[in-house]
Amino acid sequence: MTRLTFIFAATLAAAACLLGGIAGPAFAVTPDDVMHDRLMLLRGFIDRAGASRSFHFPPAPQVRAGGLGGSQWPADPWTGAPMTPGDGRGHYRYTVSPSRRSYRLVGHLTGGAIVLRGGMPRSVMLAYDHRGEESLNLIRQYIETWARAHDGLYPLGGDVAATGAVGLQAGRQYWPSNPWDHHVMGQRSDSGSFSYEVAPDRSTYALRLHRALKHDYVLMSATGAAPWRQLLTRLEDQALHRGARVLAGYVDRWALKHGGELPKAAVLAARSARPGWPPDPITGSGMRPGVRPGTYSYAPGAAGAYTLTVHLRSGEIEAGGTAPTPVASARGSGFPLP
C-alpha cells in the first residue's frame, strides 16, 4: 500500500507542476524551420491542384497567391508578406515538366535551399498503362471484325478511328478513351495513344500503344484472312514463350557462375548467333534485342533483379525476376551456357 501511495503522490505532484506552469526545455523555432513547414504547405496546394486535374500539375504562373483557389497562401517567415516566386530568402521557385506530370519546388533559406519533387504516382501511371493495353486489345477486335466482313483485308490507317470505318461499323457500341487525357483514343504519339501500320497488300498490320513506363505495347494481326495464318501465329508465340524461359534460365545461370553478377545487355546480344541460343521463329535467326515480335528487351537491375520482356505476335510476355544467388539452384540449370 505504501508503494501505491507513493506513486499516486508522485503523479499528483507532476500534474501540479504542469498546471503551475513548470515546463520542459524549450526549443527555439527559427524562420528557416517555419519556411520548411510553409514550403510543405505550398507543396500540398500543388499536389491537390494536380490530383483534381487528373495529375496535370499547374503551370508556373498559377503557383502564386490567388492562383490555386481560395486556400490561405503561406507567408514569408521573414517579412510576413505572401510568399512569391524568386531566388532570395523566403521565396520559392516552382518548375513543371513539359508533360505537367511532375514538378520541382525549391524554397530558399538563410544559407541554403530546400528541394522538393512531386508528380503523378507511379502506381497510377502503371494503372493507366494497363488500361491502355486493354483498350488496344479492344481496338484490335474491332479491326479483326472489320476484316472478316471485307474479304480478309485489313483497314487503311485513316479507317482505324472512332469516327472511321472501323469505329462506325455495325455492332460497335464503345470506343475506348485515352486514360491520360480522357479524350477518345486516337493515333497520336503521346502516352495512351496508339499507332496503326498496315501492309501495302492489307494482309497484316501492327498496333502500337505508347506507354509511359515502358516501351510500346505491340499487337500484330492475329487472325488474318486464312486459318493457316491463325495457326502460324499461335505456333510462333508458343516458340517465343519457350524462348523466354530459355533466356531467363541463361540469365540465372550466368549469375550463378559469376558470383551473383547479372550479364550486361551486350553480353546477351553477342550470343544471338551461338548454337543453343533460342531462335526467333519469325526470322529464323537467334533472338536479338528489339521491340518487334520475335525480339526481347532486357535490363539488369540492382540486387539480382532484372527485367526481360519477349515480344510476341499477340502481345508480350514478362519473363524477368530475381536471379538466384550462388548458394541457390538456378531455374533451368540443366541447359548449358551458350
- d(C-alpha 110, C-alpha 77), whole Å: 11
Q: What is the pLDDT along the chain (338 residues), one digit of tens a residue?
A: 444 444 444 444 444 443 344 444 556 889 999 999 999 999 999 999 999 998 999 999 999 998 887 668 999 999 999 999 999 999 999 999 998 999 999 999 998 999 999 999 999 999 999 999 999 999 999 999 999 888 888 999 999 999 999 999 988 889 999 999 899 999 999 999 999 999 887 888 999 999 999 899 999 886 555 566 667 778 988 999 999 999 999 999 999 999 999 999 999 999 988 888 999 998 889 999 998 889 999 999 999 999 999 998 777 889 999 999 876 444 544 445 55
Residue type at 102 in one-letter notation: S
The SS3 of residue 119 is strand
What is the reported pLDDT for 70?
A: 67
Whole-angstrom distance, CA of residue 102 vs CA of residue 116: 11
38 in Cβ contact with 74 (< 8 Å):
yes
pLDDT at residue number 283: 87
Q: From CA 256, how far away is CA 234, in angstroms rounded?
A: 34
- Would you state the pLDDT for residue 327? 66
Number of H helices, E strands in the chain: 5, 10
* Angstrom distance (rounded) from CA 175 to CA 168: 10
Look up residue 60 and give its DSSP letter.
Answer: G
For the chain, which residues make up each domain, given as ranges? Answer: 31-120, 123-220, 227-322
Contact 320, 327 (CB under 8 A): no
Residues 41 and 48: beta-carbon distance below 8 Å: no
Q: pLDDT value at position 338?
A: 55
pLDDT given at position 87: 94
pLDDT of 203 reads: 84
Ramachandran assignment for 180, one of left (phi > 0), alpha (psi -120 to 50 degrees), beta (any other): alpha
Q: How far lies 292's CA from each of 123, 129, 242, in Å?
A: 27, 19, 17
Containing H/E element for 116? strand 113-119
